[in-house]
Amino acid sequence: MFGFGGSSNDRIAITFDNEDARPKKKLSNNAVAHPVFANIEPVTGVVEIRVPQGKRLEHQGIKIEIELFYDRGNFYDFTCILRELDTPGVLYPFDFSNAEKPYESYNGLNVRLRYFIRVTVTRGYPSGNLVKEQDFVPAPEVNNTIKMEVGIEECLHIEFEYDKTKYHLNDIIIGKVYFLLVRIKIKHMELAIIRREAAGSGPQMYNDSETITKFEVMDGAPVRGECIPIRLFLSNFNLTPTYRNINNKFNVRYYLNLVLVDQEERRYFKQQEITLYRAAE
């Protein structure tokens, strides 16, 4: 009854609507590029199940999942939307109009996050089920700018500005530092990118902080009214997207750390969180 042969790739095809015209993005080197969907955009397409003539087909449904790979072996589904395929035939359209896509896809050491369509065709023993998965990638959110004034009373007052708060992994951080008041003998100024990753909860929590790079933006003492430009190319570094409080299981955050060092090696710094995302190709 359920004995038609072939693999899931042979028997099941998943096609997104307007797939050829969509931007594509690779999630890792040498990987297949997946179609990109905006955060509020419906995920729609067609599933084709190829059934040999004279054979019967029973199916379970289609579902979209967000999968978290954590603690080197455990899996968590923190979104699961099920659609039953109750129409006879081999072409099954799907429409996930309310499927939320709040996070970027991610593949790290302790955490894996992906969006995909999964098709499951239920078959009787001993044939087993046919399962086919097709990934897609969410698009980034709207961007903003960063502008702040910081300092030490009667000693130092600076204004720093970055062109935006969200950067794709091949982007350029462009900004400036403007010195409004300088009564400290500053030796140099540097900008660092810091990554902080936390995974798990309670006694099973993993915490790591890593300085990705340090970039010297000024060498020598500034004067009042001086403006120092910042231009940092992110494509030169091993970066990943940002993730915040995903199912209370993991965080990956990035910070720009602006540091001023005086002639007595005292350090004055200000951190600003930024968001990193994968850009569509």
Task: List the chain domain ranges.
Answer: 12-138, 146-277
* Encoded amino acid at 129, one letter: N
Interior CA angle at 254 toward 42 and 80, to 5°? 30
Closest of 90, 123, 93 to residue 12, by C-alpha: 90
Alpha carbons 157 and 225: distance in angstroms, whole number: 11
The model's pTM: 0.54
- How much is the pLDDT for 133? 85
- How much is the pLDDT for 265? 87
Please tell me the CATH code under which domain 12-138 is placed: 2.60.40.640
Q: Which residues contact 273 (CB under 8 A, 6 or more apart)?
A: 253, 254, 255, 256
Alpha carbons 160 and 276: distance in angstroms, whole number: 20
Helix H or strand E encompassing 9: helix 8-11
Q: Which residues contact 148 (CB under 8 A, 6 or more apart)?
A: 159, 160, 161, 270, 272
- How much is the pLDDT for 2? 38
* Encoded amino acid at 74, one letter: N
- The CA-atom distances, in angstroms, between 10 and each of 6, 64, 271 are 6, 21, 52
Query: DSSP label at 41?
Result: S
Give the mean pLDDT of the chain.
Answer: 77
- How much is the pLDDT for 125? 61
Please tell me the CATH code under which domain 146-277 is placed: 2.60.40.640
- How much is the pLDDT for 75? 59
Collapsed DSSP state (helix, strand, coil) of residue 159: strand
- How much is the pLDDT for 58? 59
Identical topology for domains 12-138 and 146-277: yes
- How much is the pLDDT for 42? 81
Alpha carbons 66 and 225: distance in angstroms, whole number: 50
pLDDT 10s digit of each residue in the chain, 281 long? 334 455 566 678 889 988 888 888 877 666 788 888 877 678 888 888 777 666 666 555 445 455 544 455 565 555 555 555 444 456 777 777 766 676 777 776 667 777 888 877 766 666 677 788 888 888 766 667 888 777 777 788 888 888 888 888 889 999 998 988 888 888 888 999 999 988 887 777 788 889 999 988 888 888 888 898 999 999 989 898 888 777 777 889 999 998 888 888 888 888 889 988 876 54
